Amino acid sequence: MTVIMGVLNVTPDSFSDGGRFESVDAAVAHAVELTEQGADLIDVGGESTRPGAPRVPVEQELGRVLPVIEQLTARGIRTSIDTMNAQTARAAVAAGTEWINDVSGGQADPEMFAAAAELECGFMLSHWRGHSADMNALAHYGDAAFDVRDELRRQVDKALDAGVHGSRLIVDPGLGFAKDHGHNWRILGRLDVLEELGYPVLIGASRKRFLGRLLPDDAPIQARDLPTAVISALAAHSGVWGVRVHDVVSTRVALAVVDAWKTGAR
């Protein structure tokens, strides 16, 4: 069954739910709710990566995520840390996190690959070309599906050279990061190209801007949960390892449909 990663943004400025789960109590309560709804893993992030978002000091990021991870670990809830900072990754793993989810694919912090190798935890490596403030200007591709595969391969090789074990790697095409709506759809339509890398694939399309283009201009951001669920179903049918989503309920139903479709029974 495809892994469901529930998104938990412990930030004041994330594009979808910034500020809603900024307090430790609210964040923990939401993580518990997502788990009860069917999330297999809670992805805890303390720095927004929405387009144009500024960087935050590592100390501030740590102050946001560590108390939450500690409480979730104590409750037996599995977590990943959504961070581009090796220092945060180390502290999060020490607090009980099982996975590092680096949307920069090891490019934002030169110490990240060494940290992932030393910690011997799972490592989710995304395609990335630059920080949020600059990434829109970097959205130029010959063929997005093949270019992303090739650029991810280079980062995977660097991770392996640094000592990260291949069995711990997950690759993510980084939908929305230095990509316009056409690039995102091209990548999703050719997941087979990404699978040529030989590593499990994570898809994070949830509520992203390119989905809004399918909806009326005045549609609330939560209306993007339906196209997200469809993408999750199609991705799961293609064999991806996991999907990263805000709305676990619709995703769980979508994946149940895929499972029934494949097995002929439910």
Query: Catalytic positions, please?
Result: 208, 244
Closest CA to 250 of 1, 6, 62: 6
**Cβ contacts of residue 98 below 8 Å, gap of 6+?**
41, 78, 79, 80, 121, 122
Closest CA to 200 of 233, 173, 227: 173
218 class by beta-carbon count within 10 Å (0-12 exposed, 13-18 middle, 19+ buried): exposed
116 class by beta-carbon count within 10 Å (0-12 exposed, 13-18 middle, 19+ buried): buried
